[in-house]
Homo-oligomer: A and B are copies of this chain.
Amino acid sequence: NKLWGGRFEEGVHESVERFTESVSFEAEELWAHDIRGSIAHANMLAAQGLITEGDRDLIIEGLGKIKTKIETGEFVWRKDREDVHMNIEAALTDMIGEPAKKLHTARSRNDQVVTDIRLWCRDAIDRILIRIKQLQTQLVLLALRNDGLIVPGYTHLQRAQPVLLQHLLLSYVEQLERDAGRLINCKERLNFSPLGACALAGTGLPIDRLMTSQELAFTAPLRNSIDAVSDRDFVLELLSANSITAVHLSRLGEEWVLWASEEFGFIIPSDSVSTGSSIMPQKKNPDPMELVRGKSARVIGDLISLLVLCKGLPSAYNRDLQEDKEPLFDSVKAIIGMLEVTSVFAANITFNGERIRSSLPAGYLDATTLADYLVKKGMPFRTSHEVVGRAVALCIAKKCQLSDLPLDDLRGINSIFEKDVYDFLGVENAVDKFTSYGSTGSSEVQKQLQFWCSKLEITGAE
Contact = CB atoms under 8 A, between A and B. Distances in A.
A13 B269 CA distance: 12
B200 A161 contact: yes
Interface in A69-114: 82, 85-86, 93, 98-110
Contacts of A396: 7
A273 to B, nearest CB: 5
Nearest to A315: B255
A15 to B, nearest CB: 5
Interface string A198-225: 1111111111011000000000011111
Interface in A214-255: 221-231, 233, 236-237, 240-241, 243-244, 246-248, 250-251, 253-255
Contacts of A101: 380-383
Interface in A263-321: 263-264, 270-288, 290-291, 293-298, 300-321
Interface string A422-450: 00000000000111111111001000100
Give the residue among A98, A300, A344 with the most B Cβ atoms within 10 A.
A300
Contact of A153 (B196, B205, B247, B316): B316
Nearest to A108: B279
A171 B300 contact: no
Nearest to A383: B101
23 contacts: A3-B385, A85-B278, A106-B372, A109-B278, A110-B279, A153-B199, A161-B199, A162-B201, A163-B226, A204-B369, A204-B441, A225-B436, A226-B440, A236-B244, A237-B240, A253-B312, A255-B314, A297-B305, A297-B323, A301-B303, A304-B304, A308-B308, A312-B313
A327 B301 contact: yes
B157 A281 contact: no
Nearest to A371: B281
B3 A278 contact: yes
Contact of A280 (B199, B272, B304): B199
Nearest to A390: B6
Contact of A199 (B290, B312, B321, B368): B368
Interface stretch (A29-37, A118-126, A181-189, A404-412): A181-189
Contact of A108 (B278, B440, B448): B278
A178 interface: yes
B312 A205 contact: no
Interface residues of A, number: 204
Contacts of A222: 174, 438
Contacts of A383: 101
A104 B223 contact: no
A121 B224 CA distance: 31
Given A157-B318, A312-B296, A171 B448 contact: no
Contacts of A12: 271-275
Nearest to A438: B225
Contacts of A458: none
Contact of A160 (B162, B209, B228, B283): B283
Contacts of A282: 7, 363-364, 367, 388-389, 392
Contacts of A223: 174, 438, 448, 451
A415 interface: no
B16 A273 contact: yes
Contacts of A227: 170-172, 174-175
Give the residue among A201, A275, A320 with the most B Cβ atoms within 10 A.
A201
A317 B158 CA distance: 10
A118 to B, nearest CB: 13
A224 B385 contact: no
Nearest to A226: B171
A354 to B, nearest CB: 12
A251 B315 contact: yes
A288 B201 contact: no
A24 interface: no
Interface in A39-82: 50, 82
B300 A308 contact: yes
A315 B260 CA distance: 15
